[in-house]
Amino acid sequence: MVGEAKLTPALAEDLRRRGKGKVGRSWYVDETYIRVRGEWKYLYRAIDRDGSLVDVMLSEHRNLVAAKRFLRSAKAVTGVTPDRVTTDGHDAYPRAIRMELGGRVRHRTNRYLHNRLEQDHRGIKGRCRPMLGFKSVPSAKRHCRSHDELRNFLRCRSRMCQHVPAARRRFHHMRRTAIALGILESA
């Protein structure tokens, strides 16, 4: 437990630093639910047009304050202000986007445009479901951030629907795994 509490944030932070500035200017923002101590919490997630992770945040509420905090965090983490943000129909997003990202950012709302993010939720949901939820909010935050950061780091494609030959995928995965293990050894 102590090792997980120490190593996971160090790994996520190092991977986040490596990816800074490498996200696109078209973001897809949405939230999903995960169970923490028997209650549903909101996991805010954002990816860019190519499927690269922008940011992740666990929140107790799904409101304007949480949406603003998430967008502020995503902008600070990436160092990028997007040109376009695609969301579902949640009422808080238009105001949060205007207040945190500025009036020049184009906001799109469509059921089908953000399906790529809905499909991307499968990664974290598929990992959380067998665990039957989390026992505490801090451990849920650590797990969700590090899982998404590591999953994004190990991903070998640079854009959605890109075919990567198996030999290249193996080479890429082995190289990136060695980097991740080196980060954990130095932490």
Q: What are phi and psi of 48, to 5 degrees?
A: -95, -175
* pLDDT score recorded for residue 92: 93
> pLDDT tens digit string along 37-82?
889 999 999 988 888 889 999 999 999 999 999 999 999 988 889 9
- The average pLDDT across 127-151 equals 82
> pLDDT tens digit string along 25-44?
999 999 988 888 889 999 99
Kindly give the pairing relationship between strand 53-59 and strand 26-36. unpaired
- Closest listed residue to residue 53, CA positions, set 80, 34, 35, 33: 80
pTM (predicted TM-score): 0.84
* pLDDT score recorded for residue 157: 67
Encoded tokens for 182: 């080196």
Contact partners, residue 158, CB within 8 Å, separation at least 6: 50
* Cα dihedral 149/155/158/164 (nearest 10): 180
**What residues does each domain of the chain span?**
2-186
CATH superfamily placement of domain 2-186: Ribonuclease H-like superfamily/Ribonuclease H (3.30.420.10)
Q: What is the CA radius of gyration of the chain?
A: 16
Q: How far is CA 153 from the centre of its chain?
A: 11
* pLDDT score recorded for residue 8: 80
Q: In what order do the strands lie in the sheet with 53-59?
A: 53-59, 39-48, 26-36, 84-87, 106-109
Q: What is the mean pLDDT of the chain?
A: 85
Contact partners, residue 25, CB within 8 Å, separation at least 6: 48, 80, 81, 82, 83, 84
Q: How far is CA 123 from the centre of its chain?
A: 10
Quick one: which H or E segment has residue 175? Answer: helix 166-186
* pLDDT score recorded for residue 114: 73
| Distance (Å, whole) CA 165 – CA 38 | 42
> pLDDT tens digit string along 1-31?
556 777 888 888 887 777 666 788 999 999 9
* pLDDT score recorded for residue 110: 76
